[in-house]
Chain A
């Protein structure tokens, strides 16, 4: 699941649908964003990843979390709330992936501390654009101090 690369940026994608995960990977590839993409299936796994529990003992701390809102076990909202309550994790920017521009979801995400949101692709061009902007913003403009 890891695209090894010289670029040190790590992105954690929390997404249960492989087809959508694949779309994100394709968009990242197309937009020439150089990063390591880590994929987990749901919120519970994502927390294990972040806290380096179980199989994720050697997991890096991601620079960005891309979060799907609708997942089994722990859904996106619960995960987001949990991350923002944890002082060790709350500094990691979380960008929400939504299926629609349902205002309710967007407002809720921002309330819970999401750094931004991307509407899931209906049009690949748009999605690649969005990912590229993400790249510009989070990896260049709002570059965070790197923790080791």
Chain B
């Protein structure tokens, strides 16, 4: 139990190295089956669920923030309209109306300030949720990267089995690099020699036989026609 605990606190690369040391180099199945990997998969599921929650909390908080900032805007507009009404009333020496309007303005401003406080709270909360979401994204990416190490190890080992099986039956030499290199060198040498021969032919003019146009004489033409008769 304590061993299992020790294993699960290691990162995936450390786990892979432990298994290489202790078991064998064909380790993928051992790791894939280990409780550590199961815990990893479980953690990934949890991280995904957390992320989903964080996202839905974030969207609802964004809606709240939008709503309260809209309210603040409306109340600010109303207050400034009220101010100009008061200025008008004062200009008409209607002090009673101005006083009533001013009383209503006090209420409006109180409402606006209260809304501002709410908006700021939503802002702060929104920032907090964004950070939480980023942290959830980060831990999910990290868990997936670690799991990818085992999956890649497994994949490559299986691919190697598939490939070597094929070449063991077909052409074992295909996978021997030195033999391949010899083959490559021979092919290159042959090609170089071929080029050399072609170049020499071009230079010496010997290849003209391929494209030589013989110029016959008039006598030849007459002879040919006479023979034809």
Q: Do A and B originate from a single complex? A: no
